[in-house]
Amino acid sequence: MTVRATRGGARRREVPRTLAADLRDLVVDLSADGYNRTTLALIERELRRTVPSILGASVTLDTASAPDVPVVVHFASRALDPQEIGAALVLPLPGLPAPRTARITLYATQPGAFGALVPELARALQLDPRTMDPEPPLPSAPVVPRADGLQDFNVVNRALGVLLNRGHTLDTARVELGSRAEQSDLTAAAYALLASTNH
């Protein structure tokens, strides 16, 4: 009886290590300006082994070059109704080159589903548990499998590139684009700048 429990415990400890390896692979993909669907499928498989009531996840990528235009990739087998999401866990994805940061939000049906996962993932990913949020606000709108903001993100970065070519530093380029956005929004200002330069 004790042996079976010990073996089961070993298998439970192995899952977070495998999940951590898959999350690191995701960071590598994000560093290369993309994400690999195979990596997302492996993450989902390991999550399901660890948290049976898992529903899906969202990956958010931010960069200092366009802080107001995050890229959010939702992956789930179907659209998730907010009322069926009973728990969420947010954890940072360390290892991205500055100024980029990324985080992943996990969703599950069962309230408290991620409680045991927090210390295990913190150890496996070498995270400070204080950087993880085990009780974030739950979604108020459906979580639909798709990538949001990717096109806007690329447009803003292209507009910043135009300003850099005009002699701006990254900081002054952000200020300039921000001033152009006062009458609209950052993405609209970026589109307008690119249109004026035929980019």
Considering only residues 138 and 17, tell me which one the structure prediction assigns the higher pLDDT: 138
Torsion over CA: 109, 110, 116, 118 (sign): positive
* Token code pair at residue 8: 């089961």
| Residue bearing tokens 């004026």 | 196
For residue range 50-96, what is the model confidence (pLDDT) as tens digits? 899 999 999 888 765 555 667 788 888 899 999 999 999 999 988 88
For residue range 176-197, what is the model confidence (pLDDT) as tens digits? 877 877 766 777 787 788 888 8
* Token code pair at residue 26: 């995701």
pTM above 0.75, yes or no: no
